[in-house]
Amino acid sequence: MPGKLNLSAREAVGKRFDPALMQRARERSWAALHGIRERMHPGISEEQAKTAAAQVFAALGMQRLWHPPIIRIGANTTKTYRQRSDPGVTLAENDSYFIDLGLVFDGHEGDVGDTFVVGHAPERQACADAARALFQEVAAAWRVHGLSGQALYAFAGERAQAMGWRLNHAIKGHRVSDFPHTIHKGGDLGELDTTPASGLWILEIQIAHPTEPFGAFHEDLLTGDPTD
């Protein structure tokens, strides 16, 4: 089981691993995400958005996917990556959506996600803003206090509730590295009982409105620099 592995095994990397290339993959992945955002408009479906995403990836020189692009619109923003979207959902005039990308550039993995709002949807905008703010707060707790992965997600749950949102506890973060990270069996960040190293772990935050059918998602690489 992943939880039985020691930290060095869970944070192992391949011989070609390069922190600079990890950062480049991260930057290119964010560029891809914002390229997709520019193509989102009322009336677009999730499948149409994925077609547009493929064009963005090709233009940026993506090497391959390490997980399929996930684009969730409207009520589908409450679903996890393992759940299928309800079919036939399109972006409304006043609506929200999130993008979750797992891309490989130069043999290194990027994994980024963010939530956006179109039109006038104040509650949805508040949810998107809260996901970003919660991510930053949890990442800061890791930098300042050296919290374990388990403690980070316990803290995230407490803070989400205090902010008036519901944390999706099924989303627990994970490893990345030179492709493929899965051979190292790093497991979930939320299962890690020690302090995660910088530049190897993705912190994922997914929240939802406590009663309404919408949510928000934000993820990025945990790094020691708060300005990254």
Q: What is the pLDDT of residues 4-61, one digit of tens each?
A: 567 788 999 999 999 999 999 999 999 999 999 999 999 999 999 999 999 999 999 9
pTM: 0.95
Number of alpha helices (DSSP H) and beta strands (DSSP E) in the chain: 5, 7
| Rounded mean pLDDT, 163-167 | 97
- Whether the pLDDT of residue 227 is over 70: the answer is no
Q: Which of 3-7, 21-25, 78-82, 156-160 has the lowest mean pLDDT?
A: 3-7
Q: How far apart are CA 75 and CA 55, in angstroms?
A: 26
Which pLDDT score, from 0 to 100, does residue 5 have?
A: 60
**Nearest of 103, 200, 80, 217 to residue 142 by alpha carbon:** 200
Domain residue limits, the chain: 2-221
Which is the CATH superfamily of the domain at 2-221?
A: Creatinase/methionine aminopeptidase superfamily (3.90.230.10)
